[in-house]
Amino acid sequence: MAISRIPHQRGHGPLESWLRRAMTLLGPASDTPRLDAELLAAYALDMSREEMILRLHDLDLPQGLDALLERRLQREPIAQIIGRRDFWSLTLKVTRDVLVPRPDTETLIEAAIDHFGPREGPERILDLGTGSGALLLAALDLWPKATGLGIDVSPAALAVALENAEATGIAPRAHFRAGDWAAGITERFDLILCNPPYIRDDAMLSPDVADYEPRLALFGGPDGLGAYRVLAGQIGELLAPGAVALFEIGFDQGETAGNLFRDAQLKVALRRDLAGNARCLVVTRR
């Protein structure tokens, strides 16, 4: 439906009227049409969403707002349109070179907090397939005495991760380098984080994901377990005493992915996300 075909609502300010029109148009394209419309408008106004909502009746329409809406109607993710996404306590830069950080992935951070509990947290952290750096930077933000290493096969992703480390002030404690999972790493770590590609190659994804996010970070082979097979053979040697490795998994991969680590003589527990789905493998030494 063309944007211009939706008339302005009478009795509302121009921005409020635009938000109502945008929400109507976004209904078929988004699970959160109102939120999407508000985020686009706040971005165009260069202010926070909260400030915009408080001043809704006083604000004029910013230039370029319909162009932003058109991009979202083409199913481009909001995070890529506005160039950022909140993850844990951080706001991170997002481009097409990295996965958009998702709330489900925060399950790994929650599992790390539970593992270390009230005792002193990790000193050395490893993030395999770091992407935007979301997991590593969130963990380093939680434990300000820790230092960390982020590994990714994509130079473009590593550039985004480094920008995020610098923007959050964590760069002095975070190092990034190119690598193929844990190949060549001989150091031991107290905390290992990893969100590998775990979607089956033949899976049908929504256009928001399939057309805009890097396939290398999404698809894990015919059964989605390719990365776990490699990682299961590498992780045991990287775990310091008392360490934990946390892996994001698909909702139906708890047993199959877990068995790969059990076969490598590692102890495996399962953690579920807020929706009750299997989301994280908690791997420790026996």
pLDDT 10s digits, 211-246:
999 999 999 999 999 999 999 999 999 999 999 999
- pLDDT at 10 > cutoff 80: no
Residue ranges and CATH numbers for the domains of the chain are: 3-74 (1.10.8.10), 85-285 (3.40.50.150)
Q: Look up the pTM and report it.
A: 0.93
Average pLDDT on 79-94 reads 97
Rounded CA-CA distance 146/100 in Å is: 25
Query: How far out from the chain centre does Cα 208 lie?
Result: 14
- pLDDT at 65 > cutoff 90: yes
Query: In this predicted model, what pLDDT tens digit does every residue of 161-191 receive, in sequence order?
Result: 999 999 999 999 999 999 999 999 999 999 9
Q: How confident is the model at residue 120 (pLDDT cuts 50, 70, 90)?
A: confident
Please give the pLDDT value at position 12.
62
- Alpha carbon of 98 to those of 84, 92, 154, 271: distances in Å? 11, 11, 9, 25
- pLDDT at 4 > cutoff 50: no
Query: In this predicted model, what pLDDT tens digit does every residue of 11-61 receive, in sequence order?
Result: 468 899 999 999 999 999 899 999 999 999 999 999 999 999 999 988 999
